[in-house]
Chain A
C-alpha cells in the first residue's frame, strides 16, 4: 500500500507552509511516528512524523513553500513502487490535452466566420494563432484548404452553466461535448445550432432511433447509432454530457432520462445564447432551452424539460420534470407547473395557477384557473373558414 503524506494545516490562518528541511534521506526506511521533516509557518516551526511504516521518498523540496494538502512525500513498502507512484500522487492531470489553437485564434475565427476545425486539421500538431486565422481569411490557399464559412457568433453573453466543470468554461479547446439524443429531428436542428452559437459547447454526435440515419451526417453532425450505443460512447469518453431532444413520447423521454442518470451518464443543459436568464434562477439538468427564451428572477426549472423558442417563465414560477413546451408559451409570475406535461404552442398561464402532472394543454389556450392532474385542456375557440 502506498501512503501519500500531505502538508498539514498547522495554522488556521494560513493555507501554506515552508518545508524547512528533510530529516531523513531519500529512500530511507521510516517507522510510523518517526520525525521526518520540519515545517514552518509564520507562527511556529513543527516537526512532522511519518504517517506509516515503509520507505520514504520526498516529493517536495526543502526550502520551498507548499500549499496545505499538497503531497510532500510518499511512503511505500517497496522502494521501487514509491518512485513509480510519484507522477500521479496528487491526482494532478497526467498530461495536458494537446492545445490546437489559442482562444484568441478561436474568437477571431468565429468573428470572421472561419471554420477553425478545418484549419487545425490542415496543420496537425501546430497550435493555431490569431495570425494563422488572419492568413486564412486573406485567402492564402496553403493555410485554408477547407475553411467553410459558419454563422458568426451571437453577440450576447454565453449562459454560464454552473454544473459544468471549470474546464468547459470559456472559448477554445475546452468544450463540453454534447451528445444529442433524438437529434436527427427538427428539434435536433435547432439544438445543434444553439450549441454552435455558444462558446463552451460543441456537438459530439447524434443518437437517433431511425436506422436510416445511422452513419449519416445530419445537421452537420454524425449520427452514431441508436440509444443502445450510449453507454459505450460514455465509457469511451466520447462526450461530456447528453441531452434528450425528442418530445413525442413523454414517458419514454422520462424513462430514458432516469435510466441514463442511474447509469452515471452526465446530462447537460443546452441553452441558446439568446436566452435571457435573470438572477437567482435555479435549474436542474437535461433541459433544452431554444432561442429567445426568458427565465425571470427566481424561476425554478427541474430536469429534462424541452422548451421550444420564445418560452417565457416569469418570476418565481416553478417547472417540474419531463415537460415539453411548444413555441411561445408564457407562464406569468408564481405559476407552478408539474411534471410530464405537454404544452402546445402559445399556451398562456395566468399568475399563481398550478398545472398538475400529466396534463395535455392544447395550442392557443389561455389558462385562467388551475388544472388538476391528468387533465386534457382543449382550446375552445377554433378557426372558422368561410369564402370571401
Chain B
C-alpha cells in the first residue's frame, strides 16, 4: 500500500485508500447503495471507483442485510469484499449477518477459513440529519468475538488504515468513519499541538500533546468524530499551562489498553470521550480496563464523557445541546484538576 503523501482531507484519504486497494488486488470488490458514478455514494467516498473498476463495483438494492450476507459469501469464496452502508444507523439491519453468520464462519468451517470482509459506514451527527441519521451506535458492535471494530480519527492516515484492513485482515472488520471528519484535512500538528511519532499505515494509537516537555496533567482518550473536539480543548488548555495528551486508538474493539495506560500512568487523571450516548458505553470498557491496569495508581476515577442519552433532535440547536461538545470536555478537565 502506498502511504498518503499529499495533504488531503479525511474523505479524500479514504477515497484514495479505496482506489489503491482495488488497484492493488483484483479480489477486492465494492458493494453498496447508490455507489455508481456519477453519484459516487451518498458522501462521495466511493467516487470514481465504478468508472475505474466497472466489473468490481456493485450497486445494490436497499437491503443492508442482503449486502452484508452477499459479502460474507464472496469472502468465503476467496474474494475481498468491501461493503458501504450509507448511514451507520442502518447497521442494525446487518447485525444478524455479522453476529450470527460472518464472525461464526471461521469456527463453523474450521479456523483455516478466512472471511476477509470490510463493512464501512459513516457515523455521527452535527449535520442536522435528525434522530435516525446522526447516531453513533458502534458501541453495540464492540465486544463481539471475531469482529474487529476500527474507527480512525483525522490524526490517522484514514485511507492507509482502510487499505490495510482490506488487504490484510482475514476476519470481518467494521470500519467506522465519521461524517463530521469528512471535510477536515488530516491533522499533522499545529502551532500548539504536536503529534507523537508513530509508524504510518498501521493501526497504531496516535497521541497528540499540547506540550513539548514534562508530563501531562490529564489524558483525554477518544476515537473518531470527537478527535477535533479534543484537539480544540487541548489548544485552549495550552494557553492555560495545562498539559494534556490526546490519545486516539484506531482499533476500538478488541481494545489494546497498553498504549493508553502508559500515557495515563504519567498523568494519573484520565477522561474518556465519545459521541455515542452515555451509559453502557465504550468509555465504560476503557475506564474498567484502566482501573484494572492501574489499580491504586490514579489520583481520580476515570471520567466518562458522552452525548446525552436522548434522541438526537433535527434542529441544529437541539442537536448541539445533545451531543458532547468541546465546552463539556473543557469544563470536565477543570473539574478533574480542581
Flag A146-188 by CB within 8 Å of B: 1 or 0 each: 0000000100011010000010011110000000000000000
Q: Find out whether the CB atom of B327 lies under 8 angstroms from the CB atom of A15.
A: no
- The yes or no answer to A142 lying at the interface (CB within 8 A) is no
In-complex Cβ contact of B331 among A105, A107, A110, A160 (8 A): A160
Interface size class of A (residues with CB under 8 A): 20 to 34
| Closest A residue, CB atoms, query B309 | A279
**C-alpha spacing A134/B239, complex, angstroms:** 18
Which residues from chain A contact B240 at a C-beta distance below 8 Å? 102-104, 172
- The yes or no answer to B201 lying at the interface (CB within 8 A) is no
- The yes or no answer to A287 lying at the interface (CB within 8 A) is no
Which residues from chain B contact A105 at a C-beta distance below 8 Å? 241
- The yes or no answer to A129 lying at the interface (CB within 8 A) is yes
- The yes or no answer to B338 lying at the interface (CB within 8 A) is yes
With both chains docked as a complex, state the minimum distance between the C-beta of A298 and any C-beta of chain B, in angstroms.
Answer: 14
Which residues from chain A contact B239 at a C-beta distance below 8 Å? 102
With both chains docked as a complex, state the minimum distance between the C-beta of B169 and any C-beta of chain A, in angstroms.
Answer: 33
| Closest A residue, CB atoms, query B183 | A42
Q: Find out whether the CB atom of A158 lies under 8 angstroms from the CB atom of B335.
A: yes
Q: Find out whether the CB atom of A104 lies under 8 angstroms from the CB atom of B334.
A: no
| Closest A residue, CB atoms, query B240 | A103
Q: Find out whether the CB atom of B335 lies under 8 angstroms from the CB atom of A104.
A: no
Q: Find out whether the CB atom of B338 lies under 8 angstroms from the CB atom of A130.
A: no
In-complex Cβ contact of A169 among B127, B237, B331 (8 A): B331
**C-alpha spacing A15/B50, complex, angstroms:** 31
With both chains docked as a complex, state the minimum distance between the C-beta of B267 and any C-beta of chain A, in angstroms.
Answer: 14
Most buried by A among B240, B241, B337, B338: B338
**C-alpha spacing A367/B171, complex, angstroms:** 64
Which residues from chain A contact B330 at a C-beta distance below 8 Å? 169-170
**C-alpha spacing A57/B175, complex, angstroms:** 49
**C-alpha spacing A158/B241, complex, angstroms:** 20
With both chains docked as a complex, state the minimum distance between the C-beta of A174 and any C-beta of chain B, in angstroms.
Answer: 10
- The yes or no answer to B266 lying at the interface (CB within 8 A) is no
- The yes or no answer to B114 lying at the interface (CB within 8 A) is no
Q: Find out whether the CB atom of A130 lies under 8 angstroms from the CB atom of B337.
A: no
Which residues from chain A contact B336 at a C-beta distance below 8 Å? 157
Number of interface residues of B (CB under 8 A): 17
| Closest A residue, CB atoms, query B129 | A13
Q: Find out whether the CB atom of B338 lies under 8 angstroms from the CB atom of A171.
A: yes
- With contacts A102-B241, A129-B241, A170-B331 taken as known, whether A107 is within 8 angstroms of B127 at the C-beta atoms is no
Which residues from chain B contact A199 at a C-beta distance below 8 Å? 334-335, 338
In-complex Cβ contact of A153 among B127, B316, B331, B338 (8 A): B338
- The yes or no answer to B4 lying at the interface (CB within 8 A) is no
With both chains docked as a complex, state the minimum distance between the C-beta of A113 and any C-beta of chain B, in angstroms.
Answer: 14
With both chains docked as a complex, state the minimum distance between the C-beta of A101 and any C-beta of chain B, in angstroms.
Answer: 9
Which residues from chain A contact B316 at a C-beta distance below 8 Å? 15
- The yes or no answer to A1 lying at the interface (CB within 8 A) is no
- The yes or no answer to B242 lying at the interface (CB within 8 A) is yes
- The yes or no answer to A229 lying at the interface (CB within 8 A) is no
- The yes or no answer to A12 lying at the interface (CB within 8 A) is yes
Flag B231-254 by CB within 8 Å of A: 1 or 0 each: 000000101111000000000000
- The yes or no answer to B34 lying at the interface (CB within 8 A) is no
Q: Find out whether the CB atom of B337 lies under 8 angstroms from the CB atom of A107.
A: yes
**C-alpha spacing A73/B200, complex, angstroms:** 45
- The yes or no answer to B217 lying at the interface (CB within 8 A) is yes
Binding site for A on B (CB under 8 A): 127-128, 217, 237, 239-242, 316, 327, 330-331, 334-338
Binding site for B on A (CB under 8 A): 12-13, 15, 102-105, 107, 110, 129-130, 153, 157-158, 160, 166, 169-172, 199
Q: 20 new A-B pairs (CB below 8 Å) besides A15-B316, A130-B241, A170-B331?
A: A12-B128, A13-B127, A102-B240, A102-B242, A103-B241, A103-B334, A104-B217, A104-B240, A104-B241, A104-B242, A105-B241, A107-B242, A110-B338, A157-B335, A158-B334, A158-B335, A169-B334, A172-B240, A199-B334, A199-B338
17 pairs from A and B in contact (CB 8 Å cutoff): A12-B128, A13-B127, A15-B316, A102-B240, A102-B241, A103-B242, A103-B334, A104-B240, A105-B241, A110-B338, A157-B335, A158-B334, A158-B335, A160-B335, A170-B330, A170-B334, A171-B334
